[in-house]
Amino acid sequence: MKINFLIVTIMLTSFICTAQQDAQYTQYMYNTINVNPAYAGSRGVTSIFILHRTQWVGLDGAPVTNAASINMPINNSNLGLGISFVNDRIGPTVENAATVDLSYTIPTSERFKLSFGIKTTANLFNLDVNKLYPEHQGDVQFQNLNNNFTPNIGAGLYFHSEQTYLGVSIPNFFETKRYDDNSVAVNKERMNLYLIAGHVFDLSSNVKFKPSMLTKIVQGAPLQVDLSGNFMINEKFVAGIAYRWSASVSAMVGFQATDNWFIGYGYDLETTKLANYNSGSHEFFLRYELFNKFNKIISPRFF
């Protein structure tokens, strides 16, 4: 069932005006580079990641997100490098972000490492007011924005071993107001604080279990808490469930098709009244990793 686009646009624009948040991901445990720059190079190989997310299918103007990234360690140093691109469409707005991440890792014990990361981002924001259907077409408060450019910086910490990770990050330190003529702001991008954690339990020689958590805190929006649990079977098949606090439940599956290729899919079902107007959210991703005879893994990393 579809709602009139005007109603949806009002809903989404009201949300945007209150507090623009970063794009959300159900399978954040595979896409950590987009929220924490300290993750860059932590897998020890060149990792290429592509994701497509269609949120609230059947709801006109609902978010659609495309993300692509590559991250790698730099030679045999303690440095890691990441490059990411995100295209996020919500109602009448389109935002494109290009990001460069740099990390530095130090060993803290035989098992654990601590990584520090910095993130630089270039954002291009577009607003098509024709999709808002303003009552007065010549209203000076409603003007198109084309490729409105804003830079940003962020930072993160990532404490990890082969089985455990804990991270904290702020991808964007600068709070950006767009289209704020006459004290009217269509879009306010605030600081998003992320906390992530996870641990892999070896239940048997063939089964691993990984509970994980992502918490996002942003002023002007409800606290977001994502809890998930994934099982890996025979180091090939991954299946799990997730719960986004007061928002949705999710099912996730993945398959290590080859040593290089990992394929994943997630489905979200809303637990709010919004469930009456959409058929859920879909998220697909591909990860390709480049190995050589020196860094070829014996078993797949779970994160």
The sign one gets for the Cα dihedral 203, 245, 114, 151 is positive
CB atoms closer than 10 angstroms to residue 183: 6
Instruction: Write the DSSP assignment of 164-202 as a string of letters.
Output: EEEEEEES--S-EEES-GGG--SEEE---EEEEEEE-EE
Indicate the class that CATH gives domain 1-13+31-290.
mainly beta
At 37 the three-state DSSP class reads helix
Listed by start position, the domains of the chain span 1-13+31-290
Cβ-proximal residues to 152 (8 Å cutoff; 6+ apart), any chain: 120, 121, 123, 171, 172, 173, 174, 176
CB atoms closer than 10 angstroms to residue 202: 11
8 Å CB contact between 284 and 192: no
Position 124 scores a pLDDT of 93
CB atoms closer than 10 angstroms to residue 109: 8
**Angle CA(277)–CA(282)–CA(283) in degrees, nearest 5?**
150
At 297 the three-state DSSP class reads coil
Q: What is the pLDDT along the chain (303 residues), one digit of tens a residue?
A: 444 444 444 444 444 444 446 788 999 999 999 999 999 999 999 999 999 999 999 998 999 999 999 999 998 899 999 999 999 999 989 999 999 999 999 999 999 999 999 999 999 999 887 777 666 666 666 667 788 899 999 999 999 999 999 999 999 998 877 655 555 555 567 789 999 999 999 999 999 999 999 999 988 788 899 999 999 999 999 999 999 999 999 999 999 999 999 999 999 999 999 999 999 999 999 999 997 655 555 456 778
Lookup result for tokens 């949300």: 15
Residues in the chain: 303
Distance of CA 206 to the CA centre of its chain: 30
**Tokens found for residue 204:** 């048997």
Single out the residue of 93, 139, 133, 100 nearest to residue 117, CA to CA: 100
8 Å CB contact between 61 and 10: no
Per DSSP, 293 falls in state: T
Cβ-proximal residues to 49 (8 Å cutoff; 6+ apart), any chain: 30, 31, 33, 67, 68, 69, 70, 285, 286, 287
